[in-house]
């Protein structure tokens, strides 16, 4: 117990650094403010890069489950506040596929259903932390890409919806992953409005908020498209 | 190096925990919606409610994620630097808990419980300290590995499977928080109760306390 004065002041400083500092940060659920938040978003872009170029493999597939392993409940999220969005009666729905492609196309649902299909029972990972196993049927995005013949410049795919302007941007490799599909059936039945009817994007390699429901268009681009949640701060790549 | 990595971890850990609690708040259960897994969780929102705002960092789920994934890398890197330094410098020797420390740890426990009068012989650290300082490195590694298991459950499916699948890996990740909290409370209490001079040593590098073996 020598030099009590000197030690106590140092100890107080330490206490401040150890407990006070982070506690002050944590106080009031601070998002980082104007100073720190842009840095956090920069690091998030760095994580996108690591996720895409280091941790992602275009041909690694997720495990599949048996239909009897399905979850009792598949939660349903959408942006519109008035219940699940529905396509207006009397207007013909079709998926517009365009952008940097040689053969832009408009694909009505019967045409999509006539293309080679994939059915799998897989686990859904929500950014919130819950999971749910369900069966999806659809046409792989890579099948549609073969039809429209993207140009070499195309590096991203943008998916648009009729749900209050919700959209997503995808990296090329994830969009053309063998388990990325345009789904029109859910648990053996035609997809219902709560799960994204008439057509939704589904995949095993991304979090749920990247799986655009209520699709209207699919656009091949050279520039990286943003996304509804991504533009508000969610990670852009969101690969799992 | 030991001191720098120690204090940086001490700064990062509360922020990682607070941002993790912000992420947890988005689904404060384990398992599926409508099918919560029967794992013991006193912090399930149905009984516990939500963590108070002061304990969370990020403001919303996206903010919590960005804090958590930004600070996780420095935490990993600092951990790797610490372990690499210990290995290269040979400083791991007085720290690593080995099988021969088991009976010594028992004797030390008896001493602490006043069931043994004299302080057992020791080197720089006693056997219980070795157990603690080895355990905390293992705990840090587990926190990082369970973190990666729930960050990339498809790309790192083998790792996720090792922890019993996504839902359980998320549970183990959450559990490491409370072990860290428990360790830290005990660690800080013992510093002040047993050897306050070691605190100054951890800051300045110079030890002037009552345990000659620490010089």
pLDDT bracket for residue A179 (50, 70, 90): very high
- The C-alpha R_g of chain B, in whole angstroms, comes to 20
Q: What is the C-alpha to C-alpha distance for residues B3 and A25, in angstroms, rounded to an integer?
A: 23
| Least CB–CB distance from A125: residue in B153, B196, B208 | B153
Q: Quick one: pLDDT at residue A5?
A: 39
Give the Cβ contact number of residue B73 at 10 Å: 14
Using the beta-carbon criterion (under 8 Å), do B152 and A44 form an inter-chain contact?
Answer: no
| Percent of chain A with pLDDT strictly greater than 70 | 88
Confidence of residue B215 (pLDDT cuts 50, 70, 90): low
Query: Mean pLDDT, to the nearest integer, of B167-173?
Result: 98
- Can you give the pLDDT at residue B210? 81
- The per-residue pLDDT for B68 is 97
Please give the pLDDT value at position B15.
Answer: 96
- Which ipTM score applies to this complex? 0.90
- Percent of chain B whose pLDDT exceeds 70: 99
Positive or negative torsion for Cα A131, A198, A226, A57: positive
Contact across the interface for B152 and A240, Cβ inside 8 Å: yes
User: Is a pLDDT exceeding 80 seen at residue A124?
Assistant: yes
Split at pLDDT 50, 70, 90, the class of A169 is: very high
Angle of helix B2-24 versus helix B166-194 axis, rounded to 10: 130
Residue in B11, B23, B26 nearest the CB of A22 = B11
Rounded distance between C-alpha atoms, residue A14 and residue A18, angstroms: 6
pTM for the whole structure: 0.90
In a mutagenesis test of the B interface, which of A18, A22, A23, A26 is the best target, namely the one with the most B β-carbons within 10 Å?
A26
| pLDDT tens column, B74-125 | 999 999 999 999 999 998 988 999 999 999 999 999 998 999 888 888 888 8
Report the gap between the CA of A129 and the closest CA in chain B (Å): 6
- Closest CB to A2 among B155, B170, B208: B208
Name chain A contacts of B10, Cβ cutoff 8 Å: 18
Q: Contact at 8 Å (CB) between A174 and A226? A: no
pLDDT for the residue A138: 98
Q: What is the mean pLDDT of residues A39-50?
A: 95
Asked whether the predicted pLDDT for residue B199 surpasses 80, the reply is yes
Contact A107, A148 (CB under 8 A): no
In angstroms, the CA B22 to CA B61 distance is: 6
Q: What radius of gyration do chain A's Cα atoms show?
A: 23
Query: Residue holding tokens 């110079």?
Result: B206
Under 8 Å between Cβ of A208 and A229: no
In this prediction, residue B195 carries a pLDDT of: 87
How many degrees, rounded to 5, is the angle at CA A218 between CA A217 and CA A223?
Answer: 125
Indicate the average pLDDT of chain A.
90
Cβ A19–B57 below 8 Å, yes or no? Answer: no
CA distance B24 to chain A (A): 7
Q: Show residues of chain B in contact with A59, CB under 8 Å.
A: none
The predicted model gives B182-189 an average pLDDT of 95
Q: Which chain B positions have a beta carbon within 8 Å of A41's beta carbon? A: 66
> Average of pLDDT values for B26-43?
95
Query: Cβ contact (<8 Å) for B15 and A22?
Result: yes
B187 token code pair: 């660690």
Instruction: Tell me if A235 and B55 make a contact (CB, 8 A cut-off).
Output: no
What percentage of chain A carries pLDDT values higher than 90? 82
Mutate to test the interface with A, among B22, B27, B154, B205 (most CBs of A within 10 A): B154
Across chain B, what does the average pLDDT equal? 93
In the prediction, which pLDDT does B209 show?
83
């Amino acid at each position: 117990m020598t030099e009590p004065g000197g030690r106590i002041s140092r100890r107080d400083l330490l206490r401040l650094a150890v407990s006070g500092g982070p506690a002050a940060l944590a106080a009031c659920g601070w998002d980082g403010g104007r100073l720190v938040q842009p840095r956090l978003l920069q690091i998030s872009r760095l994580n996108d890069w690591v996720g895409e170029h280091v941790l992602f493999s275009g041909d690694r597939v997720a495990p599949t489950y048996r239909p009897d392993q399905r979850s009792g409940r598949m939660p349903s999220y959408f942006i519109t506040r008035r219940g699940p969005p529905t396509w207006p009666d009397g207007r013909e729905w079709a998926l517009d596929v365009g952008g940097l492609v040689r053969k832009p196309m408009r694909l009505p649902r019967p045409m999509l259903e006539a293309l080679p299909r994939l059915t799998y029972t897989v686990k859904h990972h929500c950014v919130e932390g819950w999971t749910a196993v369900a069966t999806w049927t659809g046409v792989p995005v890579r099948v549609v890409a073969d039809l429209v013949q993207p140009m070499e410049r195309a590096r991203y795919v943008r998916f648009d919806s009729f749900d209050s302007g919700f959209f997503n941007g995808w990296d090329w490799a994830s969009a053309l992953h063998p388990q990325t599909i345009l789904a029109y059936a859910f648990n053996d039945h035609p997809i219902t409005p709560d799960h994204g009817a008439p057509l939704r994007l589904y995949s095993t390699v991304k979090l749920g908020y990247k799986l655009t429901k209520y699709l209207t268009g699919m656009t091949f681009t050279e520039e990286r498209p943003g996304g509804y949640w991504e533009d508000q701060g969610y990670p852009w790549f969101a690969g799992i | 190096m030991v001191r720098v990595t120690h204090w940086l971890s001490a700064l990062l850990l509360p922020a990682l925990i607070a941002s993790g609690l912000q992420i947890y708040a988005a689904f404060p259960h384990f398992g599926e919606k409508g099918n919560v897994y029967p794992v013991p969780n006193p912090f399930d929102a149905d009984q516990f409610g939500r963590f108070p705002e002061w304990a969370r960092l990020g403001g919303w789920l996206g903010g919590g994620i960005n804090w958590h994934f930004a600070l996780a890398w420095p935490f990993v890197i600092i951990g790797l630097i610490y372990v690499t330094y210990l290995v290269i410098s040979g400083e791991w020797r007085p720290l690593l808990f080995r099988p021969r420390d088991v009976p010594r740890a028992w004797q030390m426990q008896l001493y602490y419980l006043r069931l043994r009068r004299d302080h057992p012989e020791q080197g720089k650290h006693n056997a219980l300290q070795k157990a603690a300082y080895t355990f905390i490195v293992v705990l840090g590694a587990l926190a990082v590995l369970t973190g990666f298991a729930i960050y990339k459950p498809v790309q790192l499916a083998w790792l996720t499977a090792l922890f019993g699948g996504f839902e359980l890996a998320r549970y183990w990740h959450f559990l490491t928080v409370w072990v860290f909290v428990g360790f830290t409370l005990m660690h800080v209490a013992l510093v002040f109760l047993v050897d306050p001079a070691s605190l100054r040593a951890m800051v300045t590098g110079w030890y002037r306390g009552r345990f000659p073996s620490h010089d």
